Amino acid sequence: MKLSATNITHAACISRSFLYPDLFGSKTLSLTAEAVTNYSLSIEQGGYPSHDARNVTNLSFCNVSLIYTHPGQHDSINVQVWLPLNGWNQRLQGAGGGGFLAGLNVPSMAGALSDGFAVVSTDAGHKIEDASTWALLSPGNVDLYALQNYASVSLNDAAVIGKSIIQNFYGQGPIRSYWNGCSNGGRQGLVIAQRYPDAYDGILAAAPGIDWNTALLGGMYFPLQVLKGGHVPAPCEIYALSLAAVAACDADDGVVDDIISNPEQCRFDPFALVGQNVTCPGMTATISHAAAQGAAMAWDAVRTANGSLLMPGLNYGALLNVALNSTCDNQGGKCKMVPFPYSEEFIRYWMFKRPDFDWTTLTLTDFYRLWNISANTYSDMIASNNPDLSGFRAAGGKMITWHGLADPAVPTNISSIYYNNVAQLDPGINEYYRLFQAPGISHCGGGNGLYPGHVFETLIAWVEEGKAPEILQGASLPTENGTIYHRPICAYPLMAKYKGKGDVTLADNWKCA
């Protein structure tokens, strides 16, 4: 889709060109503007969320950096707005973050800029991802204002600031505004739709960490279960079981391509491989009962002591070495569990509030107690699971979520559960919100599967032309022999099925059913 462009001179990129934004409840501390020319960057797949890899060259833009505070909260938040000096498409793109970072992700901002967007992003008050630098006011005391900024408040602030800066610079506001994020950026997108429905016209919320607080806590469940069993399997065992599941269920969709298209249809018993010798890059191992047990739990769910569901597990097809990560001594002997770093930090700083807390002292009894405390303490602040999107619908917004079916970090079914909850509340969900599940794709990108590298264009067409998406165009990375698979990614709950004849690498030979 061709978007109209606006040009402006370098001379306008000076601080006095800009008025301080009228942001209620805030005080601007400083504003600087600097012209940047001949900017280039190589961006990997997904570095600019939901876009293919690209080389950005010779960009010229005005970098406006604004620092503000919420008086009485002792915070200092940096927002950057990158304004194209030529070729502005008259649109704003909000750039999300990842992990414990709220934004200011350079590849994401540069990618949006290369597409002609003015870009806004925020650090929410902390520039370093390490939670030790911002989570606590002091041992025992969580910085709730910092968490609130990271969770939600800074997102709407950034939208207001971005639109104000654009108005000052170009003499007109953006004709449309879009949000783009994956992982935490996906969570941010859902928060915006739920809490600030007028902030953006279109939202791309990919692989969202929806139940942020409980999902991070859930990442500790599998390591604790392994420790309870008394034997820690080597990484090679877990890796081999992950690949064995793909081999067992690859052909279920009628095509052998190292992709599981329908994980729920997969039937694989990891215990059948116990005792088998396996080879991994640089090492060999023997599948242990502990490895099979850990894999079975990771593919199942996080459950209460009586078996009730707390959080869905990973899909067959996802590499389990995130959920069941371990490291062994140089001789391949004794191994120890290494939990998902964000889970370990969440428990250390937000649950126990002690920088020196040792996660290995936890028990499963502690885990279940912490689950309830986490839900009661943090859900209202940071969880993005509210199914009421009536405000977003009334504002005329459109939102797309896509989630890789082989995501090893955020279980894919978290997104489908949320989507179903929205649909139960509003049967007209398809008028403004659609979910797509990408076979074989890992967290926000990577993997053997079908990556929707043009989904943002699809979102724009939905917002501006009313073209509601039934499919996303997916393409794989080249295989070792150079083959690229093209396939439709179908709107949930449909999935792509091979028609039974024709070249399996061509999208035309697949249908949604």
Neighbours of 380 (CB within 10 A): 11
The β-bridge relationship of strands 136-138 and 309-312 is unpaired
Catalytic residue among 51, 70, 403, 443: 443
Residues 6 or more apart whose Cβ sits within 8 Å of residue 52: 45, 451, 453, 454, 475
Give first-to-last CA distance, the chain, whole Å: 28
Which two three-digit tokens encode residue 148? 């609130």
Verify whether residue 183 is a known catalytic residue: yes
Q: Tell which residue, 193, 152, 199, has the closest CA to residue 177.
A: 199
**Taking a C-beta distance cutoff of 8 angstroms, is the pair 46, 182 a contact?**
yes
Residue 158: C-alpha distances to residues 117, 134, 244 (Å): 15, 20, 46
- Among residues 183, 261, 415, 442, the one annotated as catalytic is 183
Candidates 25, 97, 109; CA nearest to 65 is 109
Q: How many other CB atoms sit within 10 Å of the CB of residue 189? A: 30
Residue partners of 374: CB distance under 8 A and separation at least 6? 213, 214, 217, 350, 351
2 backbone φψ class: left, alpha, beta (φ>0; ψ -120 to 50):
beta
> If we measure between CA atoms, which residue out of 407, 461, 410, 409 comes closest to residue 434?
461
- Which tokens belong to 420? 């179903």
Q: Which residue has the tokens 């791309």?
A: 204
- The DSSP element (H or E) to which 488 belongs, if any, is strand 486-490
List the catalytic residue out of 157, 407, 415, 476.
407
Burial code (b: 16+ CB inside 10 Å, e: under 16) for 130-146 equals: ebeebbbeeeeebbebb
DSSP line for 192-221? HHHH-TTS-SEEEEES---SHHHHHHHTTH
Examine the residue annotation and report whether 508 is marked as an active-site residue of this protein: no
How far is it, in rounded angstroms, from Cα 347 to Cα 142?
A: 12
363: which 2 tokens? 């028990």
The residue among 463, 405, 401, 474 whose CA lies nearest residue 96 is 401
What are the Cα distances from residue 57, in Å, to 86, 126, 320, 328, 413?
14, 29, 37, 43, 38
Tell me if residue 74 is catalytic. no
d(CA 127, CA 147): 13
Under DSSP, is residue 57 helix (H, G, I), strand (E, B) or coil?
strand
Which sequence positions are flagged as catalytic?
A: 183, 407, 443
